[in-house]
Chains A and B, each alone.
Chain A
């Protein structure tokens, strides 16, 4: 057993007891995203500024005059949490340099849902990552525009029924495949990119801590189960997240300085059907469509494994 794995056994007890994202917010029962945010904040600690894109998390947490945030928090609009974050980072850096704020490291962390990240916010995200700000961006991907009523996004998976790409007599839901933003971020030569899921809390928090330490841009794509939008019982949210990983649909890995590493390894992948059958959004898929889904997952998983096995770190090149 490696030291890191050994550490993981004790890690739950070592997690920050402080709650930075307090109870009493208005998220739905079983919301994976609210849980993921709570975990992220614990891993980040108090010297953090959160920049939140418009979406579920902004709506449920900031109903004036209340707030769930015990960290400094800033919301501006839907597509720009990465560019607002760029400004916060630049502002903090300059003011620190000029001695106008205390001389200590405060991390700017931009967050957004899948719509605010992979669709309307991708330009701002790409720009911020290219410019190399000392900025962590975390995408909480619940695979559709849940805040506005479950409309299809670029992160909605193949075959899912949404309110704008619904199943019908001549349609089985979404025909395109999910956009892989983690890989797009790797292509930006970002020093640290990871995928995560709240169903693996220690793995997620470790990744947040690692990204927190990077002096430069970093990106975490966190699959966040949405029982409301996925047509799933709230008590199955954690299980659904685990199944997304165990089926290989959403593998948990990190790309540290170009080096791929699977952080949650699977001996054998479970069939995708185990994951799909839990959720109402996939209920209509016939065996042929499920087979197509399975083939694609196998192919993507193989692609990822070949990167894990073949690609050395950039510093070794």
Chain B
């Protein structure tokens, strides 16, 4: 029986992982993800799940240990944030190329310097191209859902790729919310036991992680890319199954009050919930504005985006990371390239907001929409604006 419980979202993430009965968890403390492995270690210490919790000496070793455990055939989980994710960076593209379905929660946090423990998306954006499936949650319920879905997607025989679930540091990790938790039988009905394709075991000898010369490297990269692109079919299928069993719908891009909208906001992560409040307010003022919440970051939902922006005059893309010296923030650059040459493509404007935990209010979104609405007539001079910079 599904139960509704109020708890901190980081704890909820750990509870969701526990429902999936992982075999090996390896993690290293870094704010703000720490409550996830802490709570998981409690669950292991109380014998609620039979897993090995490896208290590694660094994030590099956390992902390396997960890589080894997954290669041995274990269901494997880790979590990190910010610099920790960067310390894992060496191992990130290796895990995906080796087709090891490690699941990771990322409590998104700004990258140093100046050192800052609060939320933005510069950590995951730096790992965008490593070949992982990447999803963003906008609230606690989505975190719970995405963790359980995550193992099923990653371990699917047609996917076999690592997957990360992004939840905004503090804004999500440290917020207490009521969430629905499926019970153990329900999860077991949804999530089959992990059946690895190949493992390091003497009964079936394989060499994993071999040297690839230029003659095969293109092919290896093509195979990895195809694997990620093709995973979308399974992601959609798993989300459909989830909806059938648990009644909650998940989509690559979730639309909120977009009917007849001239201006569309596009957000990633927890700011989507704040933006909903702004859209309600604007609609009350008879302003035709709508919201798109991007949930699936990799593989990027090109088709869904093209369909979702149809009819809008202006698309205002919110980024929570700076691509220094680039043409736009990472999300907007992706959106622009996806929509380039599309007939009836809206004018695209880009605002970079909420860096390093800077508060983003519904009022900010209202101002952004009002500003963006004018872009239809007069295109902004700058390719992107870091919103709310004082003294500029």
Question: How far, in whole Å, are A87 and B200 apart by their CA atoms in the complex?
Answer: 12
Task: Decide yes or no: A95 and B74 within 8 Å by CB, A83-B65, A87-B26, A88-B69 being known contacts.
Answer: yes
Smallest CB separation, B241 vs chain A (Å): 24
Contacting residue for A72 out of B66, B90, B205, CB 8 A: B205
| A75 in complex: contacting residue of B60, B209, B213, CB < 8 Å | B209
B127 is an interface residue with CB less than 8 A from chain A: no
Q: What's the least CB distance linking B28 to chain A, in Å? A: 10
Residue of A nearest to B198 (CB): A72
* With known contacts A49-B201, A73-B207, A76-B91, A131–B68 Cβ distance under 8 A: no
- Please, how many angstroms separate the alpha-carbon atoms of A73 and B201 in the complex? 9
Determine the distance from Cα of A58 to Cα of B212 in the docked complex, in whole angstroms: 11
Residues of B within 8 A of A52 (CB): 209
State how many residues of chain B have any CB contact under 8 Å with chain A: 44
**Which chain A residue lies CB-closest to B62?**
A83
Tell me the bound Cα distance from A59 to B90 in angstroms: 18
Contacts A76-B64, A83-B65, A83-B68; A63 near B205 (Cβ below 8 A): no
* B61–A83 touching, CB < 8 Å: yes
Per-position 1/0 for B190-204, Cβ under 8 A of A:
000000000111110
A204 CB to nearest chain B CB (Å): 22
Question: Which residue on B lies nearest to A102, using beta carbons?
Answer: B203
Question: A28 within 8 Å of B by Cβ?
Answer: no
Contact of A80 among B54, B72, B74, B91 (CB under 8 A): B91
Residue among A65, A70, A91, A127 making CB contact with B56, cutoff 8 Å: A127
With a cutoff of 8 Å between Cβ atoms, the chain B residues found around residue A90 in the complex are: 24, 26, 52, 54, 65, 68-69, 74
Could you tell me if A87 and B201 are in contact, using CB atoms closer than 8 angstroms? no
Q: 0/1 per residue, B81-119, Cβ < 8 Å to A? A: 000000000110010001000000000000000000000
Q: Report Cα–Cα, A75/B210, bound state, in Å.
A: 7
A92 on the B face (CB < 8 A): yes
B286 nearest CB across to chain A (Å):
58
Given A83-B60, A87-B67, A74 and B209 contact (CB-CB distance below 8 Å): yes
Query: What is the CA–CA distance of A21 and B290 in the complex, to the nearest angstrom?
Result: 63
Q: Does A270 contact B (CB under 8 A)?
A: no
Residues of chain A lying within 8 A (CB to CB) of residue B98:
76
**Hey, what's the 0/1 contact readout for B336-368 against A, CB within 8 Å counting as 1?**
000000000000000000000000000000000
Q: Are A84 and B68 in contact (CB under 8 A)?
A: yes
Say whether, besides A86-B54, A124-B57, A75 and B74 are in contact (CB < 8 Å).
Answer: no
Asked if B216 CB lies within 8 Å of chain A CBs, one says yes
A71 proximal to B (CB < 8 A): yes
Which residues of chain B are within 8 angstroms of A123 by Cβ–Cβ distance?
A: 57-58, 60-61
| A62–B61 CB distance below 8 A | no
CB of B71 within 8 Å of the partner chain: yes
How far, in whole Å, are A49 and B61 apart by their CA atoms in the complex? 19
- Is the Cβ of B210 less than 8 Å from the Cβ of A88? no
- A70→B207 CA distance, assembly (Å): 8
Q: Are B202 and A49 in contact, with the CB atoms below 8 A? A: yes
- B199 — which chain A residues lie within 8 A by C-beta? 72
> Is A87 touching B64 in the complex (CB atoms < 8 A)?
yes
A91 touches B71 (CB 8 A): yes
Residues of chain B lying within 8 A (CB to CB) of residue A84: 64-65, 67-68, 71
Residue of A69, A93, A95, A102 near B207 (CB, 8 A) is A69
Check if A94 sits within 8 Å of B213, measured CB to CB. Answer: no
In contact, A63 and B50 (Cβ under 8 angstroms): no
**In the complex, A257 has a CB within 8 A of chain B:** no
Residue of A62, A71, A101, A127 near B73 (CB, 8 A) is: A101
A123 to B57, CA, bound (A): 8
Is A77 within 8 A of B24, CB to CB? Answer: no
Beta-carbon contact of A95 and B65 below 8 Å: no
- Alpha-carbon distance between A297 and B96 when the two chains are bound, in angstroms: 47
- Whether A91 contacts B74 by the Cβ 8 Å rule is yes
Q: How far is the CB of B310 from chain A (nearest CB, A)?
A: 45
- Asked whether any CB of chain A lies closer than 8 Å to the CB of B226, the reply is no
Complex CA distance for A89 and B54, rounded to whole angstroms: 11
Indicate if A217 sits at the interface (CB-CB under 8 A).
no
B273 at the interface (CB under 8 A from A): no
B residues near A82, Cβ cutoff 8 Å: 61
Most interface-central of A71, A90, A108 (chain B CB within 10 A): A90
Proximity bits, A91-111, B CB within 8 Å = 1, else 0: 111110110111000101000
**C-alpha gap A58/B200 in the complex (Å):** 16
Residues of chain A with a CB closer than 8 A to B1's CB: none
Interface presence of A64 (CB below 8 A): yes
Q: In the A-B complex, list the 5 residue pairs whose CB atoms are closest, starting with the nearest.
A: A87-B68, A91-B72, A127-B57, A83-B61, A87-B65
Extra A-B contacts (7), CB below 8 Å, given A74-B208, A86-B61:
A48-B202, A73-B206, A76-B68, A77-B64, A84-B68, A86-B56, A90-B65
Selected A-B contacts with CB under 8 Å, 21 pairs: A47-B202, A58-B211, A72-B201, A73-B207, A73-B208, A74-B71, A76-B98, A80-B60, A87-B24, A87-B26, A87-B54, A90-B24, A90-B74, A91-B23, A94-B23, A94-B69, A97-B50, A98-B23, A123-B57, A123-B58, A127-B56
